[in-house]
Chains A and B, each alone.
Chain A
């Protein structure tokens, strides 16, 4: 799509970025704080609009995912198999629990009040952070998965888990005894990422081939008015594209980032988009651009099709 804007700027680069690859980054739901997990074994907290590093938390191994609880604390998933809670204000972290293999993804469900983690040990675990620390108290449940968990996403009471082997399990958080749906990715290649639509009707699935599939929870709904909305995808080609799922068209493409886009996050009001430009080792070990985080403003024109959905997180 051609842009009507003047030569695009990749955004403001955050200072003091992580010193190794960025695995994920998230905006807070309450402010412009940005939480960044990295292979340099740290989780960093930034004030994105002020471009200030507010905190840095060391881990025992590369941190593969992170998420906010509120503006005073967050959680992290690390390759040293441990799940941690991070207290921003106190400047420290504590272990919430552990898996048998690196913990790949972590989410906090406001609906259930639980932390949900997926690991390469082929299990999903739910934790209650309110309990005192110590694994025995906090672990709510362990749910085996067909394969190593690669990605998970929450919306409302629904949880979508994507694993190796292209399996997809959909759970109702109120009844985790078994998946509500067991599905298979309709894409031919390894699942890279899964994200639920904010309106809760379905989820988007992406694969390492570079495709995105739009799925609905309820198939009957799928045939009705399609409400895909707009969403942004970042790829190893260094581009961030904004799509109109409804019309299956690309709305906008931001200028190329120095290297692979490892993670994306929209701010709570959709004004800002944080882009992690960090080589994701898709081509093995090779020389790459330094890891950087860019925060850019989002223009309505870039993301707005006829229906107005501002990106899905």
Chain B
């Protein structure tokens, strides 16, 4: 439209004119007076002026407003800048600038905007930093309350300068450093704690969490508060103390173990097992770092081992004690001392724990030393005592030997026994002297030692005394018998004178074991009993050989006759007579008769009254003994021969009883059978 190019003002003007025109028209139509028209037009004009005026005012106002705004903004900008510590940038640039107000306004507003933005940014920075600072401070203080960041910021509203910001940054930086230090500390502490826990076999996580829950978690953030650090420190110290305690305990155990090993020579392999313990025996606390070396279990394990070793030691000690006891016994027995019972009791009491093994060992050692010393001092005398005892044995063997009928028979080993007899005789001769010497030695010893010399509990002096007394008795007996023999010898001589013939001497006198028993008993009794026995023996031809042999083997003390009786050979040769009994027997019967009658009247052995009462008395004897049958033949012989005095009558009884006692099993069995048979018959009766 071509009309569009017309300026709107023109358009308006046009419109106004049109309107005026129109108005004119209207007035015209209305017929308005020109005065009125003019008034109206004036009014119109005035109104228009008013409108114009109003518009102009408005424009002025707006201009003023803009100016105000600019000023305000400028002020604001200045404020902001000052707050931010910056110089206001552009003041009065409008002077230089030919730009309109609006432009100015625009500029300044944008500047203000910008500054505001910047201020805002800075503020945010501040907030940020302050927040962080606060956070860290909180962490450090351990408090959870947060100071409102707004107030902080408000406080800093006045100062948002870079300087301050930098200052704050610096603070923050320091705080961060502090925090990191603390974290490091905490980590260190935790490491230490960990190490302590592992060494002592404790649960690290548990312990850490006990101090502060956050510490157990390796991932999350950890408390770094003063409290935490303090507690960590305390806990660590506490654990360290425990560690030291345990370490000391373990070292004690290790020391004991080493001592016990040393005492008992424990093999290396066993010791190796506990290498890890003993290597730390002198370690200091910080050197022990291997896990579980101080755990409860481990310490218990070591304790058990030590206790086992101690038991072993005590049992070994007991062994030693028993060995020593045996040793003591041996030494005591060798030297014929009776061991001390007190010590024995103590040893028995070991198990009950009442007495200490070590003390007992000591005591035993002392005792052993004592006994050894005593044995040494007894040695010489002891040897002599044993020699004496051996000599006594030989003496009694010799006695027995001398009573033996067969001792001169050729047989195996006879020459050996002869030699032994020789030696024994010389030994016996030396005995009295030895006994005296021994007695005086013992007396000297006893005086020196102040105690009796005991042999297996018996004082030797009393043994010697008994022996001496016994010998004395024997000696007396011997003398008495010798006297008796002498007297009987006289009797024979007288009888020879009377009857003029000699008798051969066989008398059943093997005084095998009779001597000792005889001496104490009054001779009369024995003789009386022996008489008939004697007779029976003599009458028995079979006995003759033995009789003669024993006769010849008699000891001097039992010989009432002299020894010139060629008994053995004579009788031996007599054996070839098959049926005939001994011719040489003889008078035995007569003799016994004599003796019998003598003894019945005279209570001594003195054969002073000889009477001959032949056959009668002989026959009275035959119930005796086993073999009475040969009597008749002997009786017939007896008249031809002489009387020979009976030899030791006393011993005959004993010998007799001996022979009666020797029986074979078969003889005993037969006797039993016969007695069994008799009993029923007796009962019947």
Contacts and interface: CB of A to CB of B under 8 A. Distances in A.
A122 B409 contact: no
A120 B546 contact: no
Given A104-B664, A182-B410, A219-B412, 12 more contacts: A62-B670, A79-B670, A100-B629, A146-B542, A165-B662, A177-B575, A177-B576, A184-B411, A215-B412, A222-B412, A280-B665, A284-B672
28 contacts: A39-B669, A62-B669, A101-B627, A102-B666, A120-B626, A121-B627, A122-B543, A141-B578, A143-B578, A144-B542, A145-B542, A146-B545, A150-B664, A165-B659, A178-B573, A179-B575, A181-B410, A181-B411, A182-B409, A182-B572, A183-B410, A186-B411, A186-B412, A186-B413, A192-B664, A216-B412, A281-B665, A285-B672
A113 to B, nearest CB: 19
Contacts of B542: 121-123, 144-146
Contacts of A181: 410-411
B265 interface: no
B673 interface: yes
A18 interface: no
A310 to B, nearest CB: 26
Interface string A258-298: 00000000000000000000001110110000000000000
Contacts of A121: 542, 627
B575 A183 contact: no
Contacts of B668: 281, 284
A59 interface: no
Interface of A: 21, 23, 39, 62, 64, 79, 100-102, 104, 120-123, 141-148, 150, 164-165, 167, 177-179, 181-184, 186, 190, 192, 208, 215-216, 219, 222, 280-282, 284-285
Contacts of A165: 546, 659, 662
B541 interface: yes
B617 interface: no
Q: Which 4 A-B pairs give the minimum distances between C-beta atoms?
A: A122-B542, A183-B411, A177-B576, A281-B669
Contacts of B549: 146
Nearest to A192: B664
Contact of B576 (A39, A178, A184, A192): A178
Contacts of B409: 182-184
A101 B542 CA distance: 13
B95 to A, nearest CB: 145
Nearest to B658: A165
Contacts of A62: 669-670, 673
Contacts, number: 94
Nearest to B406: A184
Nearest to A79: B670
B407 to A, nearest CB: 8
Nearest to B581: A144
Contacts of B664: 104, 148, 150, 164, 190, 192
A144 B546 contact: no
B604 to A, nearest CB: 32
A53 B554 CA distance: 55
Contacts of B543: 122
B579 interface: yes
A123 to B, nearest CB: 7
A178 B411 contact: no
Contact of A147 (B546, B575, B578, B665): B546
Contact of B667 (A120, A144, A215): A120
B503 to A, nearest CB: 22
Given A178-B572, A285-B672, A23 B406 contact: no
Interface in B645-670: 659, 662-670
B627 A100 contact: yes
A222 B406 CA distance: 22
B627 A122 contact: yes
Interface string B566-591: 00000011011011000000000000
Given A62-B673, A120-B667, A190 B662 contact: yes
A181 B406 CA distance: 12
A144 B547 CA distance: 13
Contacts of A122: 542-543, 627
Nearest to B668: A281
A60 B597 CA distance: 44
Contacts of B545: 144, 146
B666 A64 contact: yes
Contacts of B626: 101, 120
B160 to A, nearest CB: 119
Contacts of A281: 665-666, 668-669, 672
Nearest to B664: A150
Nearest to B540: A122
